[in-house]
Amino acid sequence: INEKCQDPCPGSCGQSAVCRVTNHSPICTCPEGFIGDAFTACYPKPPEPVQPVVQDDFCNCAPNAVCRDNVCVCLPDYYGDGYTVCRPECVRNSDCALNKACIRNKCKNPCVPGTCGEGAICDVLNHAVVCSCPPGTTGS
């Protein structure tokens, strides 16, 4: 400006605009999230209008529940009142009796054939399989 090195940005852009210099000229733009004429003023972009949600579930059921004849019912293999909770039988071993384990959301005996060696005794202690040899025998 007037053959002197000066920043051309001050006073060049509108309110809330961003100025950057390209080839010695001020370039004004509105920042992200703003709209308007960058040489006059930038304004916050208004939020997108919220589309109304079409609600097929007039029962207002819990997750994993369905509305049947205006009554919330838990899906098969889920348990609860249908309105506040519908959960599987178990999600962790502690949801089951000590002699069962949570296997695919069901409390089951983890001693299935092949769990222990041939002829071994399979017991469940605190949800875990314990294999042992019958009295008078040894092995692994």
For the chain, domain boundaries: 1-51, 93-132
pLDDT in tens, 106-121: 999 999 888 898 899 9
Q: 3-class SS at 93? A: helix
Closest CA to 137 of 108, 115, 117, 110: 117
Counting as low any pLDDT under 70, the low residues of the chain are 1-3, 51-57
Q: What is the pLDDT of residue 56?
A: 56
> Which runs of consecutive H residues, i.e. helices, occur in the chain?
none
Rounded to whole angstroms, how far apart are CA atoms 138 and 42?
Answer: 84
The reply to whether the predicted model has a pTM over 0.85 is no
Q: What is the pLDDT of residue 66?
A: 94
Largest CA distance in the chain: 107
* 7 touches 21 (CB < 8 A): yes
